[in-house]
Every structure is written in structure tokens, then in C-alpha cells.
Amino acid sequence: MAFNALTRSLRVGLAAAGLLGRNLIQVRGYRAVPLRCHGAYRLCGMQRMYLDEALALYAELHDGKPLDLPRRWLYRLAGDRLGVVALDIEGRVVGAAFYGFTPRDLAEGRVHSSFSGVHPAHRGRGLATELRRSAILHFRDHGVRGYSSRITADNIASLKPSLRLGFRIVERYRDTATGEQRFYLVCDFDDDYREAAAPAAPLETGP
């Protein structure tokens, strides 16, 4: 039992180190996500001053479940280059998008879209589209060709809008941990992305 627990701990630790290492190396030469305006809203990189609010919004839109610890550290170290926030006129975070690089993404020239969501009180104002636009402009400017996501097959609320946005299912597989069928999707910025279909609800994908 103790050996198994130690093995699991080592596995988790190595995975966390890999996550931090590959992402920090990848974005070391990146500039911060530039400031953009959309009506009374501002969109910019997930700087440390906005991180706590962005994480609180993530948890609120996940029924209180927080983002995992390694990714919280990642966005604390490089959130201005890997995340986008939408700020209201008072400077409060009302939208957030989290991105990162998996080994597969690095090999294929894409970035992984983990989550993008807008507070319910601010939906229907184009913020979901603007969060994506900020990310696309930022990552494309640094040579990234598109983004990827993983969605559970029965998560229709996320799957349908993703397909309308231009995501293509390139792999179907069964998650060994949960037994659920999942889809691996990609969307290349110049060839696939269809902006007009952007959904207002959170685009819930996965690591």
C-alpha cells in the first residue's frame, strides 16, 4: 500500500514538473497577451493581479471545483502569456480563458484550450468571441497554427458549439481513468475557425 502510494505520488509529481517545464520553456520568449478593448470591457493577459479572480470564476463555473494545483502554479508564473481575462468597467474579471501546451500540441504546432468561460451576468455581449480572438491573435503571432481540446462524448453542451466554431474530431478514445468516451479535436486558426458561431456558455473542454 505504501509503495503504491509513493509510486502514485512520484507519478503526479513528475507530471506536474513536466507540465510546468514544457510550458515555461515554450513561452519564455513570448510577449504578454496584448491589451484590447471591446465596448466597455478590456481584454488582456492573465497577470498575477487578476489570477485570483480568474481562478474564482473558474471554480464558480465548475460547481466550486478549483483548478488543479500544478496549473494554478503555471498561471501564476506565466498567466500573462498563457491566459486571457475579460475585465468589466470596474476592473473585475468577468471572463477567463486558460491555455497550455501538451507534448502532442508542441509536436503539432498547436496550443491546448483547457477552458473558456464568461460570468453569466456578462454573457450575450460578445465576450466569449473576444476571449478567443485575443488568444488567436496572441498565439498566432508567436507561430502557433491552431488549438486543440478534449471533450467527453456526452458533453453535448460543449461539443456542439465547438464543432460550429470549426473544431474537427481527429481522435476518439476511451479514458482509462473514467471509462468515458472522449474526443480529441483540433481547430487551425487560418483554415478551420468560424468566429460567428461562438457560444455564450462556458466552453468546457479538458486537460
Tell me the mean pLDDT in the region 70-95: 98
Q: What is the pLDDT of residue 200?
A: 45
Whether 201 has a pLDDT exceeding 60, the answer reads no
Collapsing DSSP to helix, strand or coil, 6 comes out as helix
| 110-118/146-152 β-pairing | parallel
Cα–Cα dist 193/91, whole Å = 29
Collapsing DSSP to helix, strand or coil, 32 comes out as coil
**Of residues 82, 66, 64, 63, the one with CA closest to residue 20:** 82
Whether 197 has a pLDDT exceeding 90, the answer reads no
Q: What is the pLDDT of residue 5?
A: 64
Phi, psi of 117 (to 5 degrees): -150, 155
Whether 94 has a pLDDT exceeding 50, the answer reads yes
pLDDT band for position 178 (cuts 50, 70, 90): confident
Whether 207 has a pLDDT exceeding 80, the answer reads no
Whether 175 has a pLDDT exceeding 70, the answer reads yes
Whether 206 has a pLDDT exceeding 70, the answer reads no
Structure confidence by residue, pLDDT tens digits, 6-62: 677 677 788 899 999 999 999 999 999 999 999 999 999 999 999 999 999 999 999
All structural domains of the chain:
2-204 (3.40.630.30)
Give 101: exposed, middle or buried? Use CB within 10 Å, 0-12, 13-18, 19+.
buried
Tracing cell 510546468 back to the chain, one arrives at 20
Tell me the mean pLDDT in the region 87-116: 97
Cα–Cα dist 155/134, whole Å = 26
Who contacts 2 (Cβ-Cβ below 8 Å, separation ≥6)? none
Percent of the chain with pLDDT over 70: 90
